[in-house]
Structure 1
Amino acid sequence: MNHPHSYLFVPGHRADRFEKAAASGAHRIIIDLEDAVAPAEKDDARRNVVSWFQQGGSGVVRINGADTFWFDADLAAVASCSHAEVMVPKATVASLQRVARFLIDTPLLALVESVEGLVDIHAVAAVDAVTRLAFGNLDFGADSRISEGGSFLDPARFQIALASRHANLLPPIDGVTVSFDDEAKLLEDVERAKGFGFSAKLCIHPRQIGVVNAGFLPSETDIAWASTILAAVQSTQGEAIQIDGKMVDKPIVERARAILSGRSA
């Protein structure tokens, strides 16, 4: 899928979960070598990743940070994993460039979860290997000393969305919702992210996948509105029109086209 909506984390040391994660309905799995893996299990996790890709598996690998003991070994392991994408934690221009120099032609997901990463967000988005930005809301909240709950981090989401658009990247990926039993909260978070121009979300449990996938597709109301707009525009052959008392101009038409193009994304 060229435009994934859901990314499901799976711990790298739990190879028994890789197949289940891949069959969960998630558009991408993220095999985690970082936070979910204890230091004593890093080597096993790395071997599991290599084995997964050598056997035809696919997905994203979240490596350890550039300032850690495990960074170089992670890069060496991923270098043998064809078709892997790499998520770079606490992404900065310097760390992304280090990864890109070692893993040539590997698509990078820049996980923005530090104040430094957000301050330099346009430069982060402009690194050649970066294909998408993701928001690490939990770590960013800790680093910025701002609560990660509710709308407190929405200014950061706004900046990430603008940087993604300016760099012509895919719409960004929102951070995790920590409660996987609260569907109402998950829906609220998806709607917030969607309103800021995000089109995907990081997931920590398979229960979240269905809600996230459906939430980022256009609603039936949106599809009906877009269909009405485009049908009216086509029938007038370029003349200015009004629908429901509102002028339909180029931005409205482009929005309608975007909605219909995303109905089966």
Structure 2
Amino acid sequence: MKAASSYLFVPGERAERFDKALASGADRVILDLEDAVLPEAKALARDTLHDWLERHGVDARVLVRVNGVQTPWHDDDLRLAALPGVAGVMLPKAERASDLAHIRAALRESQALYALIETVDAVVRLREIAAVGGLTRLAFGSFDFCSDAGMGDDRSALDPVRTQLVIESRHARLPAPVDGVTLDLGNESALEEDVRHARMFGMGAKLCIHPRQVDAVNRGFLPTESDCAWARRVLDAVAKSGAGAIAVDGKLVDRPIVERAKAIVAQFD
């Protein structure tokens, strides 16, 4: 099954936006109790979310970003995950494997668990975090990371962290990680370039902050027409060759190449 490509944040106290977010085409919708909600509105947002979840029922697309483990709101947020309508939880400021393991134990087996990597400490401990049993995927909170690290948010400045996220995800046999948000809502070409850049570094999805970003993100993580044509040439050549060595487009085809071609074609079957 193809991993999700688009993850759309929605403020947790804005119930009028929840159904619109689900209709946007986003693979996952993250109902946010953390950064999108002011401290004085946390309880209201949780109550709003609780009421909507009870009405909406089970939906595999619905995730909840709870407040961090060290905050006074975390325990109450996590209790919300017991509702059938919560398909998974995203933990912000995920820095310790033990915190994720504790949350994993509190969730149903069917629920997803995402670790949002937003600090230098989290990156330093990335292998331990990625190894937590039952972790679904790593996501990159790029702007909070820049703030914590004292870095600029230039796209290329974060490439070493993207590479590390990709390597540790692969080492832990997790899906390719989720890249951070693009803040410029009015510049679709910048969003498309951010997606292309993320994909080039091995990221497999992207966080979104507005429904208008979803379509470009979904398209950007699909194989291109040339990718599909190449994959079909590879598989056709393999089918015709029997056990012999083959080359496609002048390049030797070995097992990893064949597996990549199969994965590309599988997204359209």
- The interval holding the TM-score normalised by the smaller chain is over 0.9
Is 2:170 aligned against 1:165? Answer: yes
- SS of equivalent residue, structure 1 residue 152: helix
The structure 2 residue matched to 1:94, chosen from 95, 98, 106, is 98
User: How much has 1:245 moved relative to structure 2?
Assistant: 2.2
Partner of 1:103: 107
Could you tell me which residue of structure 1 aligns to residue 154 of structure 2? 149
Could you tell me how far apart the structure 1 residues matched to 2:178 and 2:268 are? 18
CA distance in 2, matches of 1:133, 1:159: 11
The structural deviation recorded for 1:84 is 2.4
For the 8 Å contact 2:58–2:86, the answer to whether it is kept is no
Q: Indicate which of 252, 256, 260 corresponds to 1:255.
A: 260
Q: Residues of 1 paired with 2:250 and 2:33: CA distance?
A: 55
Structure 1: segments with no counterpart, 5+ residues: none
How many residues are paired up? 264
Q: 1:65 aligns with which of 64, 68, 86?
A: 68
Within 2, Cα distance between the matches of 1:251 and 1:136?
Answer: 31
Secondary structure of 1:34's aligned partner: coil
In 1, are the aligned partners of 2:64 and 2:86 still within 8 Å (CA)?
no
Is 1:189 the counterpart of 2:197? The answer is no
Which residue matches 2:237?
232
Q: Give the secondary structure class of the aligned counterpart of 1:153.
A: helix
Deviates more, 1:11-20 or 1:89-98: 89-98
SS of the equivalent of 1:180 reads coil
| 1:105-153 deviation line (CA, Å, top 9, x unaligned) | 3321000111111111111011113111100000111111122222101
Compute the TM-score of the two structures, normalised by the length of structure 1.
0.95
Once the two structures are TM-superposed, the CA of residue 82 in structure 1 deviates from its matched residue by: 4.5
Question: Do the aligned partners of 1:223 and 1:263 also contact (CA within 8 Å) in 2?
Answer: no
Residues in 2 aligned to 1:127 and 1:148: alpha-carbon distance in whole angstroms? 29
1:31 match: 31
**1:244 deviation in Å?**
2.7
> Aligned letter for 1:7?
Y
The amino acid of 1:100's aligned partner reads: R
Query: Once the two structures are superposed, what CA deviation does each residue of 1:208-256 show, in whole Å capped at 9, x if it has no partner?
Result: 0110001100000000011001101110112101223222222221221
Provide the rounded CA distance (Å) in 1 between the counterparts of 2:3 and 2:76. Answer: 30
**SS at 1:130 equivalent:** coil
Percent of pairs with identical residues: 49
> How much has 1:164 moved relative to structure 2?
1.0
Select which of 125, 130, 135 maps to 1:125.
130
TM-score, normalised to structure 2, is 0.93
Q: C-alpha deviations, 1:167-191, integer Å up to 9, x for none? A: 1112111100011111111111111
SS of residue paired to 2:176: coil
Q: Secondary structure at the match of 2:100?
A: helix
- Of stretches 178-187 and 241-250 in structure 1, the one that deviates more from structure 2 is 241-250
Aligned to 2:120: 115
Q: Name the amino acid aligned to 2:98.
A: A
Query: What is the RMSD computed on CA atoms of the aligned residues?
Result: 1.6
Deviation at 1:204, TM superposition (A): 0.4
Are the aligned partners of 2:10 and 2:30 in contact in 1 as well (CA < 8 Å)? yes
Tell me, what secondary structure is at the counterpart of 1:109?
A: strand
Partner-residue secondary structure (3-state), 1:51 = helix
Query: Structure 2, unaligned stretches of length 5 or more?
Result: none
